[in-house]
Amino acid sequence: MTSLEKPVGLLVVNLGTPDAPDVPSVRRYLAQFLSDPRVVDLPRFVWLPVLYGIVLNTRPKKSAHAYDSIWNHDIGEGPLKTITRKQAEKLAAVDLDGKAPVIVDYALRYGSPSIPAQIEALMAKGCERIALLPLYPQYAASTNASVADDAFDALKRMRKQPALRIGAPYYDDPAYISALAASVTRDLAALDFEPEVIVASFHGLPQLQVDRGDPYRSHCETTWRLLREALGMSEEKLRLSFQSRFGPAKWIQPYTSDVVVELATSGVKRMAIFAPGFSADCLETIEELGVEIRDLFLEKGGEKFARLPCLNDSAESMTLIETLARREIAGWV
């Protein structure tokens, strides 16, 4: 067997989830997540005392309760892990082989299975070439770059390293826009009411990170524009917002909570919301949008509310992921 005939590893990557919906597990998860300088890029001597002295002593209990409300208790997994695993399993069932076989697996940036552990596992199966496919459509240093950091930190510790590729963001990819448009159209048609306004809620980012050159906001706005064009909707019909703020700093706006309050108080009675930047449903979509934002809209005078699911492991999603996977392993198989 030549080196070009050896198996190629393909690792689907998403953010992560605690190992269990209890306080110790959530504390470990938050410690790993919030100590990542890509996520919180404050000076370490400023941030770490706050993280370990305040945040990790107050936030895990509340977060554990929220995780418990969405947990897949029958299999002991958070929904993001379940969905990411299913995405990898469905992709593995697709014939991606060429002159070399393809071995598909998945990893989480925070929590388990970790990126370094899965790279080692693929190498143990004979993979000398590995492609990582981060399922983050819009580039942010706190997501895409953090995945690359973790992967290359793992390689630093290896005597024998694999060749490594990191998948590109796909915020304007026609396959992504097509998948979103088909999914939104189908899910809207299944509702028992017609929303007056639909909100596309992306995860937020500190404004300072954008000011320093992060292209994330621009990528989100491009996705929003292309999706409006694909759906034939105006800016007033399909609104843009950003959710999941943390801490007192200014984040990119408009905030999802503000947009929803504005809609309700201006007389909008029926709305739907979805999160196009999330490839899998998780705490931020199920609990934050589906519970907190729903309650806010109804409290302010709204009457009908629907949270549309993420792409998850739907047929549209798997067509997209297969397209991205073939692009990233092109020339290797």
Tell me the per-residue pLDDT of 298-309, one tens digit each, with 9 for 90 and over. Answer: 999 999 999 999
SS3 143: helix
pLDDT at 131 over 90: yes
CA distance linking residue 36 with residue 66, whole number of Å: 22
Q: How confident is the model at residue 3 (pLDDT cuts 50, 70, 90)?
A: confident
**In the predicted model, is pLDDT for residue 211 greater than 90?**
yes
* Residue from 166, 168, 169 nearest 138 by CA: 169
CA angle (106, 85, 169) in 5-degree steps: 55
In the DSSP assignment, the letter for residue 191 is S
Q: Are 304 and 195 contacting, i.e. CB atoms less than 8 angstroms apart?
A: yes
What average pLDDT does range 84-100 have in this prediction? 96
State what percent of residues in the chain have pLDDT above 70.
Answer: 100
The pLDDT of 235-264, averaged and rounded, is 95
Over residues 242-254, the mean pLDDT reads 91
pLDDT band, very low/low/confident/very high, at 1 (cuts 50, 70, 90): confident
pLDDT in tens, 166-189: 999 999 999 999 999 999 999 999
pLDDT tops 90 at residue 2? no
Q: What is the per-residue pLDDT for 249? A: 85
- Mean pLDDT computed over every residue of the chain: 97
Length of the chain: 333
Q: Among 2-6, 94-98, 149-153, 295-299, which stretch is predicted with the lowest mean pLDDT?
A: 2-6
Number of other CB atoms surrounding residue 232 within 10 Å: 9
Arithmetic mean of pLDDT, 7-24: 97
Q: What is the pLDDT of residue 271?
A: 98
Q: In the prediction, which pLDDT does 246 show?
A: 82
- Please report the beta strands in 233-330, taking only residues with DSSP state E, as ranges in sequence order: 238-243, 270-274, 304-307
Look at the pTM and tell me if it is higher than 0.85.
yes
Instruction: Let me know: does 19 contact 25? Beta carbons within 8 Å.
Output: yes
pLDDT of residue 77: 96
Predicted local confidence at residue 4, as pLDDT: 80
Q: Is the pLDDT of residue 88 over 90?
A: yes
Measured in degrees and rounded to the nearest 5, phi and psi for residue 55 equal -60, -50
